[in-house]
Each structure stands twice: as structure tokens, then as C-alpha cells.
């Protein structure tokens, strides 16, 4: 008899899972089981056996921790068996994890290096030691920092995580890391070191390269617990006995780059500063760590003039370049990183420069430098910076460059891939890979807009892409970690800031310009919509519960703003607000349908609607967008309240959502199903958000198709609605139009990006012009959300309405004659789903693997449907 499998806790960790006090438990049902009626649990907590028997529950995802809260550093093993009626499964295998060193039990002091105030800030070595006895049974090292750190024991680097402790809103949240260092210790003297640099905490942040956003002094904290075979323990901690010195890393900035001089003598050892910083309580991240995920060898290395080479890795990615050929002693190698070459074949980053009106441009630079000592085996690996790049320009005076000594380490959060996709159209397969790479490059501990110019956790970007990310990767812990920063940064009035962690620190700093553009529909709504994606995809009720107060505060602020503020155009229409205007959200700032395809001037140049007339853009009425999102978030909030058992809130927000919907229809929709804005985006949003009454949906969809026809078959959508364009078309009976738009090859289009060399998704539809000039970022994932359509419609696999955690799903491909087969998998919380279909000899064959805990409905084009539980399904039907 089979057993539950894939036991896991909602926690992160490097070498082993590390939890907080009450980790939720999850497991997958045996392959042949359609469900469970209950379960038994067995635990070993620090070797002490405990059991929980006869629990009556059908739920096996994010089960609340059933024992007393864990204490610091406890070792836990657990297993489960399930019951269906009178039948019991076998016991699962044991799953092991540990609780972290909880905040109250840290005795280590915060230590900071003594600094000389250099503008090019070096990385510092903080050093201590501990004397140990022989017969070491187990050792755990716990560490964190205000900055980026690496820990070393007796000269060996600890763990596999990179860029620790990660990016958080450091005023409120700081994560620590745990490592098993048993094999690195010995009886006698042991050296402990921390290599510390600015990182996100104190280094350059965002478009304008602001520094010292979270503090002016870096610091670290380390605590080593050693247990001997006789059960006694030794604890070593950072404190006054530690020293600091300058390292070979003479400059380190997470954005700008790292300079390592292997010829530089180590700085003098000085006493550390103790407890010179204010730090938040230490907690433990639910996300997997950032790691070196893979490595890429150069596709080409081309000499470009004297002493200069251009290296092409063939893929836009995030990471750093490792060099093993550093040349003779004193050789300086300079590496500039970017994502585009100019027509002459040289690296260019001009498209990533930033400029404020009336001010000089800030040149975009990602530059690493290394000076060789000439020692054998010397390797340059800049782990205190990270770059977005496809190309590198390497300069080395008077020497050669060994192409076999160059490697790109791809560095990002080590997310577990959960989906595969392939079809008969290789262009779509390439598009799928480009979107995957684009998200990977922007998943460096937080979901960023781009890995180059800004690297900010823009809420709007992730609100758009989260449903796609949740298909491609397991992003539950990754998203929950970021959402904590969104909550940390939320303003007192309920507004959600544009990007989190918020380097502007609007919650405590007065910044009128940033404040004026904070609180936008489609951006702030991430606090509602992303947790809902986590619940729908993973069954993660904990994500709903921990974000519930912040969700309410955001929606209540939006409702209050809708009631109390009016756009001037409506004030001109009537001095007193019309009754429905109480629910029109138009009187505050909205980014709106950002980055629609640009119009061209008579000379063919692109017209930027923002820069060409900033005042007109800023003051334009974006109430259609704001009110649509207000409806969607209020409706979602009602659904969240239902799940959490808040019946009163559910009824109130459901009624509020209905009134917002009616107001939107009154203000923005006519009796013929036409939107007042009359744009493709407005129709897509109206249909995707269910704002259009049932009797007008067909007309509204027809108006959308007419707009596409009038644009010669091209899309006209921007930031907020592009992800929904193709699903809306297909679901309204226009799959042929959806595929026609998808397969366009000139701008604006996805395949047009690929034809111009894109390996990731561009920020602008016209990211690279016909003459090869680049504009804006060439690695922005938001428009890559189109690949979800490949899974939900081309492959045809989507979760059933009202299902959570993939307990029920539908397979219903949306066909086009140009595609003759598709296949793919999805590792759902219930187990792996596999779908394959093929058209051959006028017949359609669909095959589906249904995991335990799921049921499926398969729909054929001839109208026949089949329902099936766990197991293998295959049918062949005429088209």
C-alpha cells in the first residue's frame, strides 16, 4: 500500500529546512488516493517521541503546527499516514528540519568594523576564534548581518547561500542563516571569520543609486553552538574580542560592482565596534536562498581593439563572471557588464542611463576589477555584487585572455521549477524560455523589475506576473518573504508603496515627490492579489491570514479616497458628485496602463507619452483603471474573508464590490458594451475582471477584436492588461485572433523581440529598434506573463473555478491549425500533472496524468467531456 510523500514545512533554509516556532506542515497524497478523511502524525522532537492520532480532516496542505511552539535549535523529525474511510495508508518516510535560533536566545553582540570613511567602500574581515575540545558531535553556526556577509570556519566558506542575509525592509525585518559546521571544526583553536560589505543595507539602491538607505554602519552577528559527544556544549559569539581589517576586496557595491586587489596587503587588525547599530528582531526566511544555480560558458570571445575583448554568453541573466586566468602579478582586468552591443559590436549601456528633468544623466555602470598577485590557482569570483548581463567587455593591458578561463555564474533565488512546456511551434517554445529566463534574472531574493537599472521590488510588476511565476516555479516562500516587506513598508494611512523593500523609507521619511506617486491601482493591489494567488495555487491559507490586516487597510484607504476625492473632469461635469461617484477611484495618483505601444511621430521616431508631456500624463483621468482594480480587490477581499471565516467582512466586501462594479458600469460602459476609454486595455480589463454584464460580454469582446483589426492585427495593451489579452480573446470565442496576435513578428510583438535577438522579455515593446539601438531594460518580466496562456490555453491545463491547491483541474486546449501537438507538466501541490495532446488524421488525442488528491475534467472539441480521478487518462476523438 502506498504512503504520503513529499513532506515539507513552510520554511526556507540552506543545507536543511529551518523554521520559526510554528511551521505549517504539508504532504502529498498517495498516487491512487482521491482524498483523505483524516491523518495520524508522529514526531521526534530532540529525540522525544510524540504522536497525534485520529485527526479528522480532508486538508493536507499548510496544516497548522499541532504541538507546543518549538524552542530554539530543536531538531524535529515527523511522518504521516492518512485515512480514507476505514482504509489507512502506509506511514510516510521521515522528514527532518530544525528550528532556528529564535530572537530571544541570541547572546551574540552586533559588531561593526572601524572604517576610514572611504567613498569606495571595501569589504571588511571580522575575525574571532574559539578553543574547542575533541569529540565534537554536532555544531551549528547562526549568523546574520546588516550588509552582505560570508562566514568562514578555519578558512572554509560556510554553506551554499549567496548574498546573505538577503533583501528585507531592514527597519523591521532581518533574517538569519543556519549552517552545519560539524566537519569544519577541530579540537583546539578554531578561526571564525565574517566577510562583510554594504549589500542592500548600505549600498547603492535603485535608479538614482541612493546609498545609506537603511543605515550608515554595517554590522554582523554570529553565534556558534558546539555539542560534544558527552552532551556538554560550548557557545562562541561575536563580541569585544573580535577584530576587523580591510580585505582584498577594496570596493564592493551590490549594483556598481566589486574591485579585488590580490596584491593589497591586509589592513591592520583593529578592535570592532560593539552594538553600534540598531537592528530589528531576527527571524527566519520562508524562502529558499539565493545560490549559484548554474554556469554558462561563453558563446564567443571576440577581440575588440587593443587589450579589449567582448564576451557573449548567449543569454541575458543575473549573476557574476568568474575568472581563473588573471595574468602575471600586477595585471589589472576590468570587466564591464551589459545586455546589448552597439552596431560596432562594442558593449553599450546607454539605454540604462537614468536622468531627471533638468539634471545630468547618471551613467549606468556595472564594473568589476581585479588585480592579480600572480599566485597559482588564484580565482576572481565577485560574490559581493551581482549583475544583469548577456555581454561583458573585458579590458586587460598588455596581455591575453584565455576564453576557457571565463564562466558566468547564474545567481538567483534557487526556486524549484514546477512546469514544462513544448509544442510543435518552436517560436513559442523559445518565447517560453525567454520568459522563464526573464523571471529567473529578476528573482534575486525579491521579485525585481530588472536586474540592471533599478532592481527594485515593484509591486505592480509582481502583481501582474505572480500567476505566471506560480506556474513556472514554486514561489510560495519566495512570495511570502517579499510580502512581509510590503507589509513592513505600508504607510499609516493604508497605502502600499510602489516597491518593497522601500529604500525611500516613506513610512518614516518625508519625501513629497515619492509620496505624491504612492498608492496606485494595480501596484498597491499586490497586497491583495498576490496572497490570493498563493492560496489558489498552493492552498496557502497562512499567506491569507498574515496579510489580511494589510489587505483591509489598503482597500479601506482606496474606498475612502474614492469617496473623498474626485478627478477635476468630474468636478467640471457636476459641482456635486453623482451618486455612483462614491465608488469611482479617480482622485489620486495612478500609473494607469503603463507602457502601451508608443505612437510614432511623422519622422518615425517614437513618442514617449510621459516625457513628451509629463503634466498631461500625470493629471490624466485614470479612474477607469483605478475603479476596475478597486472592484477586483474588494471582490477578492470578500473571498479571502470567506476562507478565513470572517463572515461579516465577507458580506460587507461582497456588497461593496457589487456597488463598485455598478459604479464602473455607470461611468465607463455604455449600453452597447463600449468602454468610455475605448482602448484595447480597457476592454481586456473589463472582460478579465468580470466588469461587463453577461448580456454585453459578446459585444465588448467584439469591440476589442475590432480595435485589434483596426491596428492591423497588433496588440495595443500595456503593463497592466497584456497578461490577460490572449486569455480574454480565447475565452470569448476568438482564439484565432489570440494566436494571430501572439504570432506577429514585427513590433509590437513578442516574437518580434525574439527576432531582434531577445533572450529575455523587454520593458518596452520597441526595446531594440530596426537599426539596433536599445531603449530601456531588455530584461523585464511583466510582458512575459503571456506564457501562462501557453499553459492554460495552448496546453489547456488550468485549475477549475473555486478550486484551491489544484484539487480540481480542467484540460481544454484552445486550438489553432498552426499547432499540431503540445505537451507539458505541472508539479502541483497534489503531485505531478502531465498533459499531452496531438492532432493526427482528423482526430485529437488527449492524455492526462492525474495525481492523488486531484480530479480532472477533460474537454474535447466535439463537445464531449470526461471526468476522472487519480491515474492515467487517454482518449482519441474526432475534431
**pLDDT at 365 exceeding the cut of 90:** yes
**pLDDT at 878 exceeding the cut of 80:** yes
pLDDT at 603: 82
pLDDT at 1: 59
**What pLDDT digit, counting tens, does each position of 690-724 carry?**
999 999 999 999 999 999 999 999 999 999 999 99
Q: Residue 833 corresponds to which cell in the numbers above?
A: 500533472
Q: Residue 607 corresponds to which cell in the numbers above?
A: 513618442
Q: Per-residue confidence at 609, pLDDT binned at 50, 70, 90?
A: confident
pLDDT at 611: 82
Residue 730 CA, chain-centre distance (Å), reads 28
**What pLDDT digit, counting tens, does each position of 241-262 carry?**
999 999 999 999 999 999 999 9
Q: Residue 248 corresponds to which cell in the numbers above?
A: 582584498
Question: In sequence order, what E strands does 85-231 have?
Answer: 87-88, 95-99, 111-112, 124-132, 136-146, 148-153, 156-157, 174-175, 177-180, 188-197, 219-228
CA dist 846 and 840 (Å) reads 11
**pLDDT at 360 exceeding the cut of 90:** no
pLDDT at 143: 98
**What pLDDT digit, counting tens, does each position of 107-130 carry?**
999 999 999 887 889 999 999 999
**pLDDT at 649 exceeding the cut of 90:** yes
Q: Residue 158 corresponds to which cell in the numbers above?
A: 560556510
**pLDDT at 357 exceeding the cut of 80:** no
The answer to whether 193 is a known catalytic residue is no
Mean pLDDT, residues 392-397 taken together: 96
Catalytic residue among 454, 581, 596, 807: 454
Output phi, psi for 59, to 5 deg: -95, 135
> What pTM does this model have?
0.97
Mean pLDDT, residues 175-179 taken together: 98
Catalytic residue among 150, 193, 536, 763: 763
**pLDDT at 602 exceeding the cut of 90:** no
**Helix 623-644 and helix 541-564, axial crossing angle in degrees, nearest 10:** 140
How many residues in total does the chain contain? 879
- Label residue 72 exposed, middle or buried (CB < 10 Å: 0-12, 13-18, 19+): middle
Mean pLDDT, residues 21-33 taken together: 96
Q: Per-residue confidence at 62, pLDDT binned at 50, 70, 90?
A: very high
Mean pLDDT, residues 77-99 taken together: 97
| DSSP H or E stretch at residue 684 | helix 680-688
**What pLDDT digit, counting tens, does each position of 502-546 carry?**
999 999 999 999 999 999 999 999 999 999 999 999 999 999 999
- Cα angle value 236/237/238 (rounded, 5°): 140
**What pLDDT digit, counting tens, does each position of 275-291 carry?**
999 999 999 999 999 99
The answer to whether 855 is a known catalytic residue is no
**pLDDT at 358 exceeding the cut of 80:** no
Helix, strand, or coil here: 149? strand
Amino acid at each position: 500500500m502506498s504512503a504520503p510523500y513529499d513532506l515539507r514545512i513552510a520554511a526556507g533554509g540552506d543545507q536543511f529546512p529551518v523554521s520559526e516556532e510554528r511551521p505549517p506542515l504539508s504532504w502529498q497524497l498517495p498516487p491512487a488516493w482521491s482524498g483523505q478523511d483524516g491523518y495520524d502524525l508522529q514526531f521526534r522532537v530532540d529525540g522525544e517521541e510524540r504522536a497525534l492520532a485520529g485527526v479528522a480532516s480532508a486538508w493536507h496542505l499548510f496544516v497548522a503546527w499541532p504541538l507546543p511552539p518549538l524552542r530554539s535549535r530543536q531538531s524535529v523529525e515527523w511522518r504521516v499516514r492518512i485515512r480514507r474511510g476505514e482504509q489507512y495508508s502506509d506511514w510516510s518516510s521521515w522528514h527532518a528540519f530544525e528550528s532556528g535560533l529564535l530572537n530571544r536566545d541570541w547572546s551574540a553582540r552586533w559588531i561593526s568594523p572601524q572604517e576610514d570613511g572611504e567613498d569606495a567602500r571595501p569589504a571588511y574581515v571580522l575575525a574571532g576564534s574559539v578553543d574547542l575540545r575533541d569529540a565534537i558531535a554536532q555544531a551549528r553556526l547562526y549568523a546574520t548581518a546588516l550588509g552582505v556577509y560570508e562566514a568562514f570556519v578555519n578558512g572554509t566558506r560556510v554553506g551554499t547561500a549567496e548574498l546573505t542575509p538577503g533583501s528585507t525592509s531592514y527597519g523591521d525585518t532581518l533574517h538569519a542563516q543556519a549552517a552545519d559546521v560539524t566537519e569544519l571544526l577541530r579540537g583546539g583553536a578554531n578561526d571564525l571569520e565574517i566577510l562583510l560589505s554594504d549589500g542592500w543595507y548600505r549600498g547603492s539602491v535603485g535608479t538614482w543609486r541612493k546609498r545609506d538607505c537603511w543605515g550608515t554602519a554595517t554590522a554582523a552577528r554570529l553565534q556558534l553552538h558546539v555539542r560534544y559527544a558527552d552532551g556538554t556544549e560550548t557557545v562562541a559569539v561575536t563580541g569585544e574580542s573580535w577584530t576587523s581589517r580591510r580585505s582584498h576586496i577594496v570596493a564592493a557595491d551590490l549594483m556598481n560592482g566589486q574591485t579585488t586587489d590580490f596584491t593589497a596587503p591586509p589592513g591592520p587588525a583593529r578592535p570592532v565596534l560593539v552594538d553600534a547599530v540598531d537592528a530589528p528582531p531576527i527571524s527566519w526566511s520562508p524562502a529558499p536562498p539565493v545560490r549559484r544555480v548554474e554556469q554558462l560558458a561563453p558563446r564567443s570571445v571576440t577581440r575588440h581593439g587593443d587589450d579589449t575583448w567582448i564576451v557573449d554568453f548567449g543569454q541575458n541573466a543575473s549573476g557574476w563572471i568568474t575568472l581563473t586566468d588573471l595574468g602575471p602579478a600586477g595585471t589589472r582586468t576590468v570587466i564591464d557588464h551589459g545586455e546589448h552591443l552597439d552596431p560596432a559590436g562594442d558593449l553599450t549601456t546607454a539605454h540604462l542611463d537614468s536622468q531627471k528633468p533638468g539634471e545630468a544623466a547618471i551613467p549606468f555602470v556595472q564594473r568589476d576589477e581585479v588585480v592579480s598577485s600572480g599566485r597559482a590557482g588564484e580565482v576572481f569570483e565577485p560574490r559581493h555584487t551581482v549583475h544583469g548581463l548577456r555581454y561583458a567587455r573585458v579590458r586587460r593591458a598588455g596581455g591575453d585572455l584565455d576564453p576557457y578561463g571565463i564562466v558566468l555564474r547564474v545567481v538567483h533565488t534557487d526556486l524549484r521549477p514546477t512546469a514544462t512546456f513544448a509544442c510543435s511551434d518552436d517560436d513559442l517554445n523559445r518565447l517560453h524560455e525567454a520568459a522563464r529566463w526573464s523571471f529567473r534574472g529578476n528573482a534575486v531574493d525579491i521579485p525585481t523589475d530588472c536586474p540592471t537599472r533599478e532592481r527594485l521590488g515593484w509591486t505592480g510588476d509582481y502583481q501582474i506576473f505572480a500567476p505566471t511565476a506560480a506556474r513556472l516555479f514554486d514561489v510560495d516562500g519566495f512570495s511570502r518573504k517579499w510580502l512581509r516587506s510590503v507589509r513592513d513598508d505600508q504607510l499609516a494611512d493604508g497605502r502600499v508603496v510602489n516597491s518593497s523593500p522601500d529604500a525611500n523609507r516613506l513610512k518614516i521619511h518625508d519625501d513629497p515627490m515619492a509620496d505624491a506617486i504612492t498608492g496606485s491601482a494595480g501596484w498597491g493591489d499586490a497586497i491583495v492579489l498576490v496572497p490570493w494567488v498563493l492560496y489558489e495555487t498552493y492552498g496557502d491559507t497562512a499567506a491569507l491570514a498574515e496579510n489580511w490586516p494589510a489587505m483591509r487597510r489598503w482597500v479601506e484607504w482606496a474606498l475612502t479616497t474614492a469617496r473623498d476625492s474626485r478627478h477635476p473632469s468630474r468636478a467640471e461635469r457636476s459641482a456635486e458628485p453623482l451618486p455612483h461617484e462614491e465608488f469611482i477611484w479617480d482622485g489620486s495618483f495612478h500609473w494607469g496602463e503603463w507602457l502601451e505601444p508608443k505612437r510614432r511621430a511623422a519622422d518615425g521616431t517614437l513618442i514617449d507619452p510621459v516625457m513628451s508631456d509629463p503634466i498631461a500624463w500625470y493629471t490624466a483621468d485614470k479612474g477607469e483603471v483605478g475603479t476596475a482594480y478597486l472592484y477586483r480587490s474588494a471582490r477578492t477581499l470578500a473571498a479571502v474573508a470567506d476562507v478565513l471565516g470572517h463572515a461579516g467582512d465577507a458580506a460587507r466586501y461582497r456588497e461593496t464590490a457589487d456597488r463598485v462594479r455598478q459604479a464602473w458600469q455607470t461611468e465607463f460602459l455604455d449600453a452597447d458594451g463600449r468602454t468610455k476609454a475605448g482602448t484595447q486595455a480597457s476592454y481586456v480589463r473589463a472582460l478579465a475582471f468580470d466588469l461587463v454584464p453577461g448580456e454585453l460580454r459578446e459585444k465588448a469582446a467584439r469591440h476589442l477584436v475590432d480595435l485589434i483589426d483596426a491596428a492591423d492585427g497588433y496588440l495595443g495593451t500595456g503593463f497592466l492588461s497584456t497578461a490577460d489579452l490572449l486569455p480574454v480573446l480565447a475565452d470569448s470565442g476568438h482564439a484565432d485572433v489570440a494566436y494571430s496576435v501572439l504570432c506577429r513578428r514585427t513590433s509590437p510583438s513578442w516574437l518580434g523581440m525574439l527576432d531582434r535577438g531577445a533572450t529575455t522579455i523587454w520593458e518596452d515593446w520597441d526595446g531594440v529598434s530596426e537599426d539596433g539601438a536599445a531603449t530601456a531594460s531588455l530584461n523585464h518580466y511583466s510582458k512575459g506573463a503571456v506564457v501562462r496562456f501557453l499553459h492554460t490555453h495552448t496546453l489547456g491545463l488550468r485549475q477549475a473555478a473555486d478550486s484551491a491547491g489544484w484539487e480540481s483541474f480542467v484540460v481544454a486546449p484552445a486550438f489553432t491549425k498552426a499547432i499540431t501537438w503540445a505537451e507539458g507538466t505541472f508539479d502541483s501541490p497534489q503531485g505531478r500533472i502531465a498533459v499531452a495532446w496531438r492532432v493526427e488524421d482528423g482526430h485529437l488525442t488527449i492524455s492526462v496524468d492525474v495525481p492523488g488528491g486531484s480530479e480532472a475534467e477533460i474537454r474535447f472539441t466535439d463537445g464531449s467531456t470526461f471526468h476522472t480521478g487519480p491515474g492515467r487518462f487517454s482518449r482519441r476523438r474526432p475534431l
